[in-house]
């Protein structure tokens, strides 16, 4: 049987912003909507890691086994990113964000059920709900952010990740202790629904150009051409391929800090779990401010690539210093290192996504963002594997952080080639 290619209809969902339009009235509402969605779904995605003991007791797993729920969240996000294009085209970017919040609400409610099956299904739904923040959220900001503030606004949007992580770490354990896990699940689901409802007044303007006739069946979602779109979009130019490689290197270092900082402080530095968690929270709090600062700096300097190259070198140095730290180091020195990590290791994402959106073909902005996010997720998922291989070879977490520093430093090479091209 011969398959006839469907005529391409890849025009942008709505027209690009008019040149010179810079009024806050144009971009403030979309920015707040995307930021609120990013923060809310991040809080939902942190329920499993922050409430692992309570969830483990409720479903009869070990605390370490709850890590499978975190993996399921990542799998759910990847599933959505591969199928993002037809969803965004049919529903519109803002409706896709709202649908993501509904998925996250349903996922959090499933955590209230005392079964492992419900927890796994809930994690997958939360992951699917997390995916639109990358693809649809980027598409919204690309169309509404003024060029001279683009890096800043994309970084403000990305600040929702550490902001959500910080809110989850501060609020969820206390809520679970006072009210119980089922009440936390219900409260988070209600909060997600309220955020989705608050975005509705913006829907008519943002989604005016959606294609109501675009197919959205299983056959379309699983079509090979659709599944290839996110990765293929990065191959449209050497600059995008190199930016993707650089982002993967930066993400590897970021994944090392996110996954192993607390373990390193406890096992190699002799810290208590409470103190190690406090330092991790400090890094997240600084990152919530550091991401907008990184975007503002990139806008002021006029070069996102220059900012990313400096970030690579600073991030690598931060990882090397952590690898060289010793148990006798004073607390203030480690706290300073955590602050620096919040400004370097954790703060580059918005600038990279903004630059990818700028150099991507106008009809592939969402796909390019999805492809870049897939590379970031893949690099972060690879981090535990590499650390495990280092441990098998007789190395420790110090060696792992040294390798993370090398990976981050190596990202300078493709960034330099992007700049030259």
SS (H, E, C) 336-360: HHHHHHHHCCCCCHHHHHHHHHHHC
Nearest 5 degrees, angle CA 345-CA 153-CA 200?
120
7 CB-contact burial (10 Å; exposed 0-12 / middle 13-18 / buried 19+): exposed
Mean pLDDT score across all residues of the chain? 83
* pLDDT band for position 40 (cuts 50, 70, 90): very high
Task: Write the CATH number for 241.
Answer: 1.20.1250.20
Tell me if 368 sits within 8 A of 213, measured CB to CB. Answer: no
Task: Work out the pLDDT band at 25, boundaries 50, 70, 90.
Answer: low
Domain shared by 252 and 175, yes or no: no
Mean pLDDT of all residues in 50-79? 79
**Pairwise CA distance, residues 26 & 156, whole Å:** 16
The answer to whether residues 252 and 133 belong to one domain is no
Compute the radius of gyration of the chain from its Cα atoms.
Answer: 21
226 is written with which tokens? 């659709």
What's the rounded mean pLDDT across residues 366-375?
Answer: 82
Q: Given a cut of 60, is residue 257 above it in pLDDT? A: yes
258 found inside a domain: yes
- Predicted confidence (pLDDT) at residue 12 exceeds the cutoff of 70: no
Over residues 187-210, the pLDDT tens digits come to: 999 999 999 999 999 888 887 778
How high is the pLDDT of residue 63?
Answer: 60
Residues 164 and 245 in one domain: no
Report residue 96 as tokens.
């896709």
Structural domain tally of the chain?
A: 2
Q: Which domain holds residue 78?
A: 22-203
Q: What is the pTM of this model?
A: 0.73
**pLDDT score, position 235:** 79
- Kindly report which listed range (153-157, 204-208, 209-213, 333-337) carries the lowest average pLDDT score: 209-213
Burial class (CB in 10 A: 0-12, 13-18, 19+), 328: exposed
Q: Are residues 268 and 174 in the same domain?
A: no
CA gap 23, 132 in Å, rounded: 26
Q: Do residues 254 and 244 touch, judged by C-beta distance below 8 A?
A: no
């Amino acid at each position: 049987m011969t398959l006839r290619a469907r005529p391409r209809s890849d025009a942008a969902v709505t027209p690009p912003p008019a040149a010179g339009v810079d009024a806050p009235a144009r971009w403030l509402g979309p920015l707040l909507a995307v930021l609120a969605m990013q923060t809310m779904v991040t809080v939902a995605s942190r329920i499993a890691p922050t409430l692992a003991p309570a969830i483990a007791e409720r479903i009869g797993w070990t605390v370490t086994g709850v890590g499978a729920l975190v993996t399921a969240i990542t799998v759910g996000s990847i599933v959505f990113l591969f199928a993002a294009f037809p969803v965004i085209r049919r529903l519109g970017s803002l409706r896709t964000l709202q649908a993501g919040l509904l998925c996250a609400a349903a996922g959090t409610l499933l955590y209230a059920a005392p079964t492992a099956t419900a927890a796994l299904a809930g994690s997958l739904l939360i992951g699917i709900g997390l995916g639109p923040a990358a693809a649809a959220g980027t598409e919204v900001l690309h169309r509404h952010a003024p060029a001279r503030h683009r890096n800043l606004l994309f970084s403000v949007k990305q600040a929702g990740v550490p902001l959500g992580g910080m809110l989850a770490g501060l609020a969820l354990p206390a809520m679970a202790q006072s009210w119980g896990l089922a009440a936390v699940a219900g409260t988070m689901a209600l909060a997600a629904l309220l955020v989705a409802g608050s975005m509705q007044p913006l829907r008519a303007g943002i989604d005016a150009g959606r294609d109501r006739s675009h197919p959205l069946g299983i056959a379309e979602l699983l079509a090979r051409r659709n599944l290839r779109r996110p990765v293929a979009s990065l191959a449209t130019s050497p600059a995008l391929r190199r930016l993707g490689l650089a982002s993967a290197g930066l993400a590897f270092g970021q994944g090392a800090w996110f996954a192993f900082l607390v373990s390193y402080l406890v096992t190699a530095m002799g810290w208590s779990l409470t103190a190690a968690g406090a330092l991790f929270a400090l890094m997240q709090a600084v990152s919530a401010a550091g991401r907008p600062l990184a975007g503002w700096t990139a806008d002021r300097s006029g070069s996102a690539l220059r900012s990313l190259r400096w970030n690579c070198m600073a991030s690598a140095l931060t990882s090397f210093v952590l690898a060289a730290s010793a148990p006798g180091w004073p607390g203030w020195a480690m706290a300073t290192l955590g602050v620096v990590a919040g400004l370097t290791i954790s703060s580059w994402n918005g600038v990279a996504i903004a630059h990818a959106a700028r150099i991507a073909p106008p009809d592939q902005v969402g796909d390019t963002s999805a492809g870049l996010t897939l590379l970031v997720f893949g690099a972060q998922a690879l981090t535990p594997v590499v650390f495990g291989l280092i441990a098998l070879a007789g190395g420790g977490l110090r060696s792992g952080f040294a390798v993370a520093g090398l990976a981050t430093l190596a990202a300078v090479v493709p960034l330099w080639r992007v700049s030259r091209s």
